[in-house]
Amino acid sequence: MSDHKSFNVKLFRRLLKYVYPYKINFIFLLIAAISISVFSIINQYLLKIAVDNYITPKDYEGLIFIISLMLGVLLFQVSFQFLFVFLANILGQKVVYDIRIKLFSRIISFKMSYYDKSSVGRLVTRSVNDMETIASIFSQGLFMIVSDLLLMFCVLVVMLFLSVKLSLIVFLILPFILIATRLFQRAMKTAFNQVRNEVANLNSFVQERISGMKEIQIFNRERIEKSKFIKINQKHKNAWLKTVWYNSIFFPIAEISTSITIGLLVWYGGGLVGFSDNSITIGTIFLFIQLSQMLFRPLRQIADKFNTLQMGMVAANRIFKILDTNDFITDNGSLKPKKINGNVVFKNVDFSYDSKNSVFKKFNLKIKSGDKIAIVGSTGSGKTTLINLLLRFYEINGGDILIDGKSIRELPIKFLRSQISLVTQNIFLFADSIYNNIVLFNTSITKEQVVSAAKEIGVDNFVKKLPGSYDYNVKERGVMLSEGQKQLISFLRAYISDSSILILDEATSSIDTKTEKLIQFAISKIIQNKTSIIIAHRLSTILNSDKIIVLDNGEIMEMGSHDDLMKIKEGHYKKLFELQYQKVELVS
């Protein structure tokens, strides 16, 4: 348990480091907290004076003065209360703003293997829900607790100064509330850990099902998925019910303790007024009743605010785990050649996605600048993996990959990827205009350039037919476009980037014949003066390639032109081509 506490302290200190840039805001916040405590006690002490010096002697003129004074003090107290809440919330939002930017920057720098292992729903929970929970640490938790503790300290000092006897009555009940508060905090800490886990599970489940809604409906899985959701939602509900149960126990105990304290003060203090202790007056009893409320109420509130703090600390722990993750490609490259010719060499490349299954062993391949290379093979042969390694989405385990004789590790990742255009089968489009999806918010590319490029590759006619033309919003994931239209947009995106190397990864495998003709025309334009690597299921699209490479289980089985490969008896490529040709005949 002590180790866990120590970890929390370290985590807390780390979180507070984000407050340092806003130290002026923090200083004013502390001034406001101190002022609230001071004015709160002054107001209560003025009530004692009013009872003893003006109400009991029936001095109504003096009473009006003291009430006016109390009103003035109350206005100061309220003003500092406003300032405190305002500054606490402002500080919280500034801190969360900084952490969220750092978190997002971290997330977009991870290599692809991180996303292979991580749930999108969980990452969304961390970036949105957990960040808002951290904000509540400052707006409703930490500084509120500090303010309450400061007020309680001032109350204790004033109590002891006024009457040790009456103070002892309050102190007699205080340990029970402290013990109850401590037990409550421990229980809530465990409960909130469970709550955050279940929230992440719920978000992950819902996000995945919404993304795969078409599959759910076409396979009639609505009832099954609803059943699964009910179970996950039940766990989420049960986690929250634990917090409700702990709150239901703690707050009545705190309320009873407060009432008992007031009763003892009235009983014992009333017996001393005017008898054994002349220092205790009716005003003093009134003051002690108010002070005991000021002492116990923050304790109850601290417990409640500690819940917020605990949730924030749990969220912060999750956020810092991501910030401490070093699962990204090392980017130490400094070479930036003025021109990339596009000579690509895979030299003794070793790679595996995990420690058990190797994809490539001592793999070698040379691609000359300007060549149109096609890579074919069965599913799992390593075609797409080659592309992922060239783009440094994954890091090779051994060997090297060279571009124009330079290791891709010597090139900055951003520069490397700027020299390679990738068009895949599954095109991702953002919920934005066609124009923004083409230029990807690159302000240096004008709409006139986009239109000109679209005309060159034969895409302009289809875009012009859409409502709003290039300003047409394709909605989330481009649902307003057909698969063929998405492919055309992706080709225009690749064309306008004007890179030295072009990669087409299954780019024509799921489109109709009419759109394929448009894409073939676009390809003929795009590949001019570029090194082109084409991965295709449709072998008819690669007949004119300079070289066709046949992969199987990470090894090159055959290499040559279409005519050369078709001459090989029992050859892999020949079998693939004839099998696909037979399928086409059967369909027709």
pLDDT tens string 436-447: 888 887 777 888
The pLDDT confidence band at residue 271, using thresholds 50, 70 and 90, is low
Q: Tokens 């819940």 appear where?
A: 307
pLDDT reading at 304 higher than 80: no
Phi and psi for 260 in degrees, rounded to 5? -65, -40
Rounded average pLDDT over 483-509: 78
Identity of residue 295: L
CB 351 within 8 A of CB 396: yes
More confident residue, 93 or 525: 93
Rounded average pLDDT over 261-277: 66
The pLDDT confidence band at residue 75, using thresholds 50, 70 and 90, is very high
- Using alpha carbons, select from 490, 484, 379 the residue that is nearest to residue 429: 490
| CA 157 centroid distance within chain | 45
pLDDT reading at 395 higher than 60: yes
Cα dihedral sign for 505, 510, 511, 512?
A: positive
Burial of 8 per CB tally in 10 Å (0-12, 13-18, 19+): middle
Rounded average pLDDT over 243-254: 78
Can you give the pLDDT at residue 506?
67
- Using alpha carbons, select from 1, 48, 9, 433 the residue that is nearest to residue 269: 48
The pLDDT confidence band at residue 588, using thresholds 50, 70 and 90, is very low
- Using alpha carbons, select from 129, 107, 260 the residue that is nearest to residue 203: 129
In 273-341, alpha helices (H):
282-323
- Using alpha carbons, select from 126, 230, 134, 242 the residue that is nearest to residue 194: 242
More confident residue, 535 or 192: 535
The pLDDT confidence band at residue 71, using thresholds 50, 70 and 90, is very high
More confident residue, 22 or 165: 22
The pLDDT confidence band at residue 37, using thresholds 50, 70 and 90, is confident
pTM score:
0.67
* Alpha-carbon gap, residue 240 to 248, rounded angstroms: 13
* Alpha-carbon gap, residue 556 to 543, rounded angstroms: 18
- Using alpha carbons, select from 442, 400, 384 the residue that is nearest to residue 418: 442
The pLDDT confidence band at residue 275, using thresholds 50, 70 and 90, is low
pLDDT reading at 1 higher than 50: no
**Residue 482 Cα distances to 23, 175, 478, angstroms:** 54, 70, 8
Please state, for a pLDDT cut of 70, what percent of the chain lies above it: 89
Rounded average pLDDT over 272-283: 63
3-state helix, strand, coil in the chain (%, to 5): 65, 10, 20
pLDDT reading at 7 higher than 70: no
Can you give the pLDDT at residue 516?
65
Which pair of tokens denotes residue 436?
């923004």
Rounded average pLDDT over 370-390: 85
Can you give the pLDDT at residue 514?
64
Can you give the pLDDT at residue 587?
42
Can you give the pLDDT at residue 270?
65
Q: Strand, coil or helix: what is 417?
A: helix
pLDDT reading at 424 higher than 60: yes
pLDDT single digits (tens) 113-134? 777 777 676 777 777 778 878 8
Give me the helix-helix angle, 282-323 and 164-211, nearest 10°: 30
Tell me the residue length of the chain. 588
